[in-house]
Amino acid sequence: MTAITFPITFKVLACEEVAAPVTLIDWTIDSLATEEVLVRVSHASINASDPIIQKRNIFRLTPPYVLGYDLSGTVVAEGQANPNDDIEVGSFVFGAVGISGGCFGEYVKVKRTSVALRPDNATVSDAQAAAYGVAYLCAYSSLMIVDDISKRAGQWAYVVGGGGGVGHFAVQLCKAYGLKVVASASKPEALELLKSLGVDAVVDYSTQDVVAEVFAATNGKGADFVYNSTCVDATFKQSALVVASGGSWVRLGAWMLSAPGLVDEITEIVKKRGAEAKSPSVAGFEPSAGLKTVIRLHKEGNIVPHISKIVPFEAAAVQEALDNFGKANAGKVVVKIM
Ligand SMILES: NC(=O)c1ccc[n+]([C@@H]2O[C@H](COP(=O)([O-])OP(=O)(O)OC[C@H]3O[C@@H](n4cnc5c(N)ncnc54)[C@H](OP(=O)(O)O)[C@@H]3O)[C@@H](O)[C@H]2O)c1
């Protein structure tokens, strides 16, 4: 592989102003910090956060800024020679970058602890590798670190919005660890996806009584493990009402984004049910640890990202995917960069 010399200039899809559509512009990286590698991006995937950051710049990035938090691609330069890991120039890696984003570009710099080696293209495709990223790591940290579903084999899980990016990974983790799963969705593709994942009871929340359906599926007991990654206030009470005594109710995301008073109301409901309410904190958590577990689960056939669409690295196509995020797709939408 030809050695990269810095500075390197390449193309990115950037938000030149907050809420402006993405445009193709030149971008330059001058150097790498010792803990970073430079990755030539093969694929990136879109998360719910991308359109939010584009429209509201919640991370207060300085325009122009580049969206894209998940990637797969080839390491082309290292900030530090011979560090103590298995990543080197030429390695094909996948993972998730921090809040500065940048994966909607031909190259991105990323902390080496934020990526892991992808075994081979036949096992995990370049697009699949990019589809894991933030969504899988959110599901992993919620289910394996905040709670520990490996101790819940045979119990019931209720995954709210199980056809979404985070939700479909949560459903598959639950199935992989032997839980019985009831999951909700409304979009036809999401409902079909849940059936194809072997979910024991699928609830269409737009037409069915969710609380009644979860109690019916669990023989009146409720779900021992409830996972809510929707960030939709209207779902919290419903899902809290169905947690079983002795169980856990876990939500993804910050309470500060919810209506005032909701946290107290939900905590009270969960407590009355004799269960515990938990929220993930990923502080101190190294993404590469979670990414290594997914390789094993993927090889075993226990987890596969559902990619509903692959869009080209073109401003109009990516903007359309950002504008339509969550409206039509189930699972993940991926951008093919190079
Ligand atoms: N670190 C974090 O805190 C963090 C990280 C990543 C993501 N997030 C947040 O997590 C949320 C989910 O992300 P994602 O990538 O999984 O988004 P997504 O792919 O759009 O999935 C959202 C899911 O929520 C479901 N849903 C919406 N309203 C519902 C309702 N009333 N009842 C049940 N399900 C409902 C949708 O189901 P249908 O489409 O079938 O109706 C959809 O499957 C986003 O808000 C995102 O910002 C937070």
- Tell me the pLDDT tens digit for each residue of 38-82: 999 999 999 999 999 999 998 899 999 999 999 999 999 999 888
Distance 13 CA to ligand 1 centre (A): 24
Q: Are residues 86 and 161 in the same domain?
A: no
- CA–CA separation, 163 vs 154, rounded Å? 22
The domain tally of the chain equals 2
Under 8 Å between Cβ of 151 and 248: no
Distance 218 CA to ligand 1 centre (A): 24
284 belongs to a structural domain:
no
- Tell me the pLDDT tens digit for each residue of 135-165: 999 999 999 999 999 999 999 999 999 999 9
Q: Are residues 155 and 81 in the same domain?
A: no
Q: Are residues 139 and 272 in the same domain?
A: yes
Strand partners, 44: 71, 335
Whole-model pTM: value is: 0.96
Phi, psi torsion values for 227, nearest 5 degrees: -120, 125
pLDDT at 167 over 60: yes
Q: Are residues 244 and 212 in the same domain?
A: yes
State which of 1-5, 54-58, 198-202, 265-269 shows the largest mean pLDDT.
198-202
297 belongs to a structural domain:
no
- CA–CA separation, 161 vs 139, rounded Å? 12
Q: Is the CB of 164 under 6 A from ligand 1?
A: yes
Q: Are residues 82 and 176 in the same domain?
A: no
Per DSSP bridges, beta strands 243-251 and 223-228 are: parallel
Q: Are residues 70 and 158 in the same domain?
A: no
166 CA closest ligand 1 atom index: 16
Q: Are residues 140 and 260 in the same domain?
A: yes
1 belongs to a structural domain:
no
Q: Are residues 91 and 210 in the same domain?
A: no
When pLDDT is cut at 50, 70 and 90, the band that residue 281 belongs to is low
Residue with CA nearest ligand 1 atom 22:
164
Q: Are residues 221 and 271 in the same domain?
A: yes
Q: Interior CA angle at 293 toward 291 and 299, to 5°?
A: 105
Q: Give the domain extent around 208.
A: 135-278
Q: Is the CB of 103 under 6 A from ligand 1?
A: no
Q: Are residues 110 and 145 in the same domain?
A: no
Q: Is the CB of 134 under 6 A from ligand 1?
A: yes
